[in-house]
Amino acid sequence: MEIKAEHNENEVKVYISGKLSFKDHPEFNSFIEEIAVSKKNVLFDISDLEQIDSAGIGMMFLSQKVMEEAGASITIRNPRGQVKRVFEITSIEKQIPVINDN
């Protein structure tokens, strides 16, 4: 997993690429805790995320909980390929907004 963030006045854009899996849990959680302090809404751009497993889905839900507790929200943008299929199977969009630019 590669993760980077761009902060602006209203939100934090988070770009995740590669694979999001169980082994990324500690790094991902630390990252979310750091950005929660800003109390800004988070936009996860995952257009370059190639693979996600059940732990990765869990991390998305955990990030939603952490951000809500901080008074902010998350949105997921541009899932593709295997990630999009996993999102469809799990119906993640029923709890976390998912937008597609295409």
15-66: pLDDT as tens digits: 999 999 999 999 999 999 999 999 999 999 999 999 999 999 999 999 999 9
Tokens 């694979």 sit at which residue? 19
Tokens encoding 61: 């839900």
CB 97 within 8 A of CB 76: yes
Q: What is the mean pLDDT of residues 66-70?
A: 96
Tokens 């751009």 sit at which residue? 45
Q: What is the pLDDT of residue 102?
A: 63
Cα 49 from chain centroid?
Answer: 10
Q: What is the pLDDT of residue 10?
A: 87
Tokens encoding 9: 């006045």
Domains of the chain from N-terminus onward: 2-99 (3.30.750.24)
Give 72's pLDDT tier (boundaries 50, 70, 90): very high
